[in-house]
Amino acid sequence: MPQQQPVTIIMVEDDEGHARLIEKNIRRAGVCNELRTFASGTAALDHMFSDEVRNAGPFLVLLDLNLPDMNGVDILARLKGDEKLRRAPVVVLTTTDDQREVQRCYDLGANVYITKPVEYESFSQAIRQLGLFLSVIQVPETQ
Amino acid sequence: MRLKTINFEALFSASPNPYVLLDLSLTIVGMNDAYLQATMRKREELVGRNMFDAFPSDPDSPSHRQLRGSFDKVVREKSSDYLSVIEYAIPLPNGQGFEERFWSATHTPLFNEAGEVAFILQHTVDVTELHRLRNLAKSTILSSGPSALIETDMFRRAQAVQQANEVLNTEQQRLRGLFQQAPGFMAALSGPQHVFTMANTAYLQLIGRENIVGKPVRDALPEVVEQGFVELLDRVYQGGQPFVGRSIRVVLEQDAGDAQDERFLDFVYQPIFDPNGQVSGIFVQGHDVTEQKRTEEALRESEERFRAIANSIDQMIWATQPDGFHDYYNQRWYEYTGVPEGSTDGAAWNDMFHPDDQERAWAVWRQCLETGEPYHIEYRLRHHSGEYRWVLGRAQPVRDEEGRLKRWFGTCTDIHDFKQAQDALRESRERALRTEEETRRLAAVLAERVTELDEANEEIQRFAYIVSHDLRAPLVNIMGFTSELEGAQAEIEQLYRNIQQANPGLVSPAVREAVESDLPEAIGFIRSSTVKMDKLIGAILKLSREGRRVLAPEPIGMTQMLEAQRRSVAHQLSERGAELLLEPVPDLVSDRLAMEQIFGNLIDNAVKYLDPSRPGRIQIRGQDLGDRVVYEVQDNGRGIDPKDVERIFDLFRRSGVQDQQGEGIGLAHVRALVRRLGGTISVSSRRGEGSTFTVVLPSYLSMSSEAA
């Protein structure tokens, strides 16, 4: 896969198993970008809102909604409310397909919403498609 | 007194009538020659001497008293006094003793410039000769002629009259004073025409006019003629019988007939008899009792009026003395209580009260007596029937001009019926209030319960949601890593085949079993179990989500909806050789999605649990009950065991042979939906014959019915 920009993937996922499975599938899709995993919302926000990260970029966020310390929706709102970070694409990953929740995420500016199906094939398929997605992302130059 | 001219003095001295002048101490100031001659004295013997020294007499003798009395009278009354005959002895000249003499004297007062009596002038005439003649006539009565007799008689009479006059004069003065000042009115009438001869001050005041003496009653008081008084006087005059009148009404004209004055008099017409026993006049005497009469009348009238009023009204009335002693009750009181008159006088009224009210009423009454405040109380009074009835008691004090409490006047009013109605009203109102309060309280409790239930429901749904969500997360891992295991297993299997081909001796039976059967089998069970688990979690999620969904009432054509559902199960029906009969059903306003799920599930179940031993037959029918509609889904399927009838609506519970696909969630879901729509679902079933599900729903779903 041709990599034009070194996009950093930031994964916010408290379930280690899920994080591992996601990473495996991303790698299988041939995505070699740097992947930084955070098990809590607080840690993820601290990292993303640190000056070096906030002003660096570009990056992509894989966000689980069900976190132990906060609701992923709040993290989404924080990101999309920030002048710089709002440009980062956010892929929401969750175990439920509650339509209201899905709608709320899109309303807040989520780019992709992926349910974590129990049928692993479809899940890994979706993750692999993310790889394609990443490959066509046109991340604007930082100013 | 000064004699201004010589002429007067000459005249005085020359007068043949004897005169002597005395000052107020009865000292002889002067006299004329005639006096000296008459008394046989010389001027120098008399002037400057007291009268009684010059002509001494026994002070206790009648002569002395008579003379002195006359002097006194002149000074006192400032008028002349006459002594017709007075025997007064005078001393003879040259000390030859006393000579008896008889005198007739006039004493006249002489006034100074201030109008006071300064001197007394005595004119005296020696009547001794006349007296001697009388005595002579007495002793020689036979020889005396008629003239001498007359002379003597006249003289005697003059003497008697003189004496009588004196007594009468004194008496008259006294009587006149009494007469004039008497508080009662008095008048004397004379003759058949009743001419006023006297009238005292009180009489003149009564009749309001003066100068009536000398006038007949008819002229003096013309207005009384018509009133019968003259007639009355005539009767007394003619009959000689006194008339005594009590409170006799007379109308007198005052101020020259302008005003009429009504008076009431007590009086006596007393006939006056002359010495011959004939009535000569009438003495009128009496007093004015008008005020007394009017007061009496006013009092009687007031009392009569009071009694009339008191007895003509429905209220009981009573009165007390200032100290609270009851001395009057009207007839109503006695009729009401049925007790004998007078039996409740004093303080006995208190016994008529209900024993529970006696003390209270007594205390209130005493308080009023002390303070003079109006009395106002409700108590139970014993009616003559024996019943104690509620009565309103009120009383007011009455005071005199000085503000002293004179009496208490009180009333009792029967308010029993009123009070009972009031009590009943209050009771019923209280009951209503209590009921209302109870209702409100129950409603509040209910609302609270509903809120609690809603909260609990919400909690359960949230719980179900979280649980399902949280359960899914590890499931994702199990599934994911199972897939990873499968991937690994494929790699291992590939290696195993390569080894088997290259060196079959390395493959032990245990390895073969592990690779060829144990691993695929284990992975297979994990997969199927997780799939099943995922479905259960999905079902819970669905239920919880359904509970949170906002209902949207809309008109639903039930026939079309059920037709569509029949089409969706047409394949299964034909497979089983079954039929679904759709009878006409009522439409309703409700949530379309919920209705579709309810009937979708019921029809699904009916098809699913048909009895394969006989042709399946499902009937759907309905009925409009006005504000509610009833739908029935009847099948001739295998039926439900009675012990399972309640369980079938529980989550994850199923009945009978588990030969059909399902999670045991359908009917639980259906019941939850029906309840949310404000309806009920029930089932009647017989094993081997079939089941009938009855759904009752409101014709119009309103959002408020959801809360219940």
Q: Is A72 on the interface with B (CB under 8 A)?
A: no
Among B residues 467-526, those touching chain A with beta carbons less than 8 Å apart: 468-470, 472-477, 479-484
CB B86 within 8 A of CB B107: no
Domain-terminating residue out of B414, B449, B474: B414
Pair B519, B440 in one domain: yes
Classify residue B353 by its DSSP letter.
Answer: B
Least confident of A70-79, A84-93, B463-472: B463-472
CA distance B293 to B300: 10
A1 in any annotated domain: no
**Token couple for B9:** 């003095």
B157 in any annotated domain: no
Q: Is B517 strand, coil or helix?
A: helix
Contact criterion met (CB < 8 Å) for B472 and A96: yes
Q: Which residues of A are less than 8 Å from B473 in CB distance?
A: 15, 18, 66, 95, 116
DSSP alpha helix (H) spans, chain A = 16-28, 41-48, 51-55, 72-80, 99-108, 120-136
A70 in any annotated domain: yes
A3 in any annotated domain: no
Pair B555, B533 in one domain: no
* Minimum distance, in Å, between the CA of residue A12 and any CA atom of chain B: 15
B257 in any annotated domain: yes
B142 in any annotated domain: no
Number of Cβ pairs closer than 8 Å across A and B? 54
CA distance B480 to B240: 162
Give the residue from chain B lying closest to A24, CA to CA.
B484
Pair B557, B629 in one domain: yes
* Predicted local confidence at residue A1, as pLDDT: 42
Pair B15, B106 in one domain: yes
Contact criterion met (CB < 8 Å) for A17 and B470: no
**Token couple for B455:** 């909260």
Q: Of B243, B227, B245, B226, which Cα lies nearest the Cα of B235?
A: B243
Pair B386, B440 in one domain: no
Q: Which of A99, A120, A121 to mutate to test the interface with B (most CBs of B within 10 A)?
A: A120
Domain-terminating residue out of B97, B126, B155: B126
DSSP string, B289-337: -HHHHHHHHHHHHHHHHHHHHHHHSSSEEEEE-TTS-EEEE-HHHHHHH
What domain range is A110 assigned to?
8-136
Instruction: Look at the block and give the residue holding tokens 């009335």.
Output: B317
Q: How confident is the model at residue A142 (pLDDT cuts 50, 70, 90)?
A: very low
Pair B484, B631 in one domain: no
A141 in any annotated domain: no
pLDDT in tens, A2-46: 445 578 889 999 888 888 888 888 887 777 888 899 998 889 999
What domain range is B368 assigned to?
319-414
* Cut 0.90: pTM above it: no
List average pLDDT for each run of 10 residues in chain B, which is 708 residues long.
56 81 90 86 88 86 86 87 81 76 84 85 80 64 50 62 70 71 83 88 86 88 88 91 88 74 88 86 87 82 77 82 89 90 88 92 91 90 91 88 86 86 82 80 80 75 74 83 88 90 87 87 86 80 73 90 90 88 92 90 89 90 92 90 76 62 71 88 88 93 56
Pair B403, B448 in one domain: no
Pair B11, B94 in one domain: yes
- The strand ranges marked E within B362-498 are 375-382, 388-399, 405-414
| Encoded amino acid at B626, one letter | G
Q: Which residues of B are less than 8 Å from A121 in CB distance?
A: 483
Pair B533, B616 in one domain: no
A93 in any annotated domain: yes
Sheet with B680-686, side-by-side order of all strands: B579-582, B617-624, B628-635, B690-698, B680-686
Pair B572, B700 in one domain: yes
Nearest to B534 among A15, A118, A124 (CB): A118
Pair B453, B515 in one domain: yes
Q: What ipTM was assigned to the predicted interfaces of this complex? A: 0.73
CA distance B71 to B667: 158
CA distance B570 to B580: 9
Q: What are phi and psi of A5, to 5 degrees?
A: -125, 140
How many domains are there within chain B? 5
CATH number, position B16: 3.30.450.20
Q: Is A120 on the interface with B (CB under 8 A)?
A: yes
Pair B354, B407 in one domain: yes
* Predicted local confidence at residue B665, as pLDDT: 64
Among B residues 5-34, those touching chain A with beta carbons less than 8 Å apart: none
CA B655 to chain centre: 84
How many domains are there within chain A? 1
Contact criterion met (CB < 8 Å) for B473 and A98: no
Nearest to B541 among A96, A116, A117 (CB): A96
CA distance B203 to B88: 47
Contact criterion met (CB < 8 Å) for B479 and A118: yes
Contact criterion met (CB < 8 Å) for A66 and B473: yes
CATH number, position A35: 3.40.50.2300
* Predicted local confidence at residue B136, as pLDDT: 64
